[in-house]
Amino acid sequence: MTDTSATNEQISRELVLPYLNHAVRMFESGYASATDIDNAMRFGCGYPQGPLATIDEIGVQQVRDELAARFSESGDNLHKPADLLEKLAAEGTTFASGAAGADAEAPQLKHEITKVGVVGTGTMASGIVQVFAQAGYDVVFVGRGEDKIAGVVAFIEKGLGRLVEKGKLDEDTKAAVLGRLTGSTSREDLADVDLVVEAIAEDLEIKTQLFKDLDRIAKPGAILATTTSSMPITQLGEVTSRPESVIGMHFFNPATVMKLVEVVTTSATSADVDQTVLALCAKVKKVAVSCADRSGFIVNALLFPYLNDAVKIVDEGRADIDTVDAAIKEQAGFPMGPFQLLDVVGNDVSLAIQQELHTEFKEAGFAPAAGLEKVVAEGNLGRKTGKGFHTYN
């Protein structure tokens, strides 16, 4: 093995092992099933396999031993092997051989869903409108002006046009999809939908006012969903008279391409609503994973500490940005290096998520890296500003 390969493997292991450990802790706490954790990272991040399957591939004992060695050096609780990892290593068992448990039965639609509402006109909202319309649902989408409404239609026409060019759709089907769209500037037009998906700005006050409005407008039994990635869904439910009907449907961007939807229940969400949304995701050809309402859900809670750790390696002068990016792609098989991904997500967004995780989990190792705080303070937010950790033309 060349020195470069050895260095790349060391960097990859240093970043990936705590991520694997965190995934085990997430599973052993009962927050999400093994299948859902693995599917979340495969379909939400494009990873070749999920973290628990990766542990089985590397070897439970080896992962446990490498983490223990790291913990003895760092004293960082995030490097201390999870209790379940210790147990599996002692027993000589794996996640695949039974630790993961049996998969749940396929969810069923408990509420009839024939008409869907979407609030918002941005890229995420437009993609969600297209997903439902392509799956055969009539969709009412609401925006703040006729120009915004026209923008959604143009977005969908363009997307469908590309599918026609590629031979994946014919003109008649394209026309049928467009025929299912109804744009409106009035929320009152959501009165007869069976499900509303909110996809507006990530601002709790604005979302809270919207949910109060939706509670007044939507018919009894209608499900109120939010695609938030960071706001507390429980608080949105609490401002309505139907918290049992409030749920998270966290689509990933672009919604027309990304397969994953994190279905997030609060303590008040009814089992029938949860079942219905999970089944609906399958009907629109998405992979749904279940989790509860806490910071980061599955994907962000596992992804961002790893990204933050990558910045710390560079902060400490142990490798440069390009070396870390190359190591992760070469050794872990991830589609993007951590600094490339930070720049795509937006360094300001990444910092905000890491701050939330630090507040939620109170782990010293989750404190935002100085280098991440620095690029945000300098206004180098990533691809959207032309410069982040990398520079873009």
Mean pLDDT to the nearest integer, 306-325: 96
Which single residue is written with the structure tokens 């507040």? 359
Indicate the pTM of the whole model. Answer: 0.95
Contacts of 121 (CB under 8 A, 6+ apart): 141, 143, 144, 148, 149, 151, 152
Which single residue is written with the structure tokens 């994953």? 260
Cβ-contact 354, 304 below 8 angstroms: yes
Catalytically active residues, by annotation: 229, 250, 262, 300
Q: What is the pLDDT of residues 334-389, one digit of tens each?
A: 999 999 999 999 999 999 999 999 999 999 999 999 999 999 999 999 999 999 99
Does the pLDDT at position 75 exceed 50?
A: yes
User: Across the chain, what does the average pLDDT equal?
Assistant: 95
Cβ-contact 19, 79 below 8 angstroms: no
Q: Please report the pLDDT score of residue 391 as a whole number.
A: 97
Does the pLDDT at position 6 exceed 80?
A: no
Q: What is the pLDDT of residues 249-301, one digit of tens each?
A: 999 989 999 999 999 999 999 999 999 999 999 999 999 999 999 999 999 99
Tokens encoding 365: 């190792």
Q: Please report the pLDDT score of residue 103 as a whole number.
A: 67
Distance CA 332, CA 60 (A): 17
Q: What is the pLDDT of residues 162-210, one digit of tens each?
A: 999 999 999 999 999 999 999 999 999 999 999 999 999 989 999 999 9
Give the number of other CB atoms < 10 A from CB of residue 355: 17
Q: Please report the pLDDT score of residue 38 as a whole number.
A: 97
Distance CA 177, CA 341 (A): 33
Among residues 292, 297, 296, the alpha carbon closest in space to that of 308 is found at 296
Distance CA 317, CA 146 (A): 52
CATH 3.40.50.720 describes domain 115-292: yes
Distance CA 164, CA 178 (A): 13
Look up residue 364 and give its DSSP letter: G
CATH 3.40.50.10090 describes domain 3-101+298-385: no
Cβ-contact 232, 293 below 8 angstroms: yes
Q: What is the pLDDT of residues 164-175, one digit of tens each?
A: 999 999 999 999
Q: What is the pLDDT of residues 95-139, one digit of tens each?
A: 987 666 666 688 999 999 999 999 999 999 999 999 999 999 999
pLDDT band at 393 (very low <50, low <70, confident <90, very high): confident
Q: Please report the pLDDT score of residue 97 as a whole number.
A: 77
Q: Please report the pLDDT score of residue 102 as a whole number.
A: 64
Mean pLDDT to the nearest integer, 22-44: 96
pLDDT band at 2 (very low <50, low <70, confident <90, very high): very low
Does the pLDDT at position 151 exceed 80?
A: yes
**Cβ-based burial of 179 (10 A; exposed 0-12, middle 13-18, buried ≥19):** exposed
pLDDT band at 7 (very low <50, low <70, confident <90, very high): confident
Domain residue ranges in the chain: 3-101+298-385, 115-292
Contacts of 258 (CB under 8 A, 6+ apart): 43, 44, 251, 252
Tokens encoding 249: 């449907």
Q: Please report the pLDDT score of residue 1 as a whole number.
A: 41
CA distances from 302 to 37, 105, 211, 294, 308 (A): 9, 26, 29, 13, 11
Q: Please report the pLDDT score of residue 360 as a whole number.
A: 92
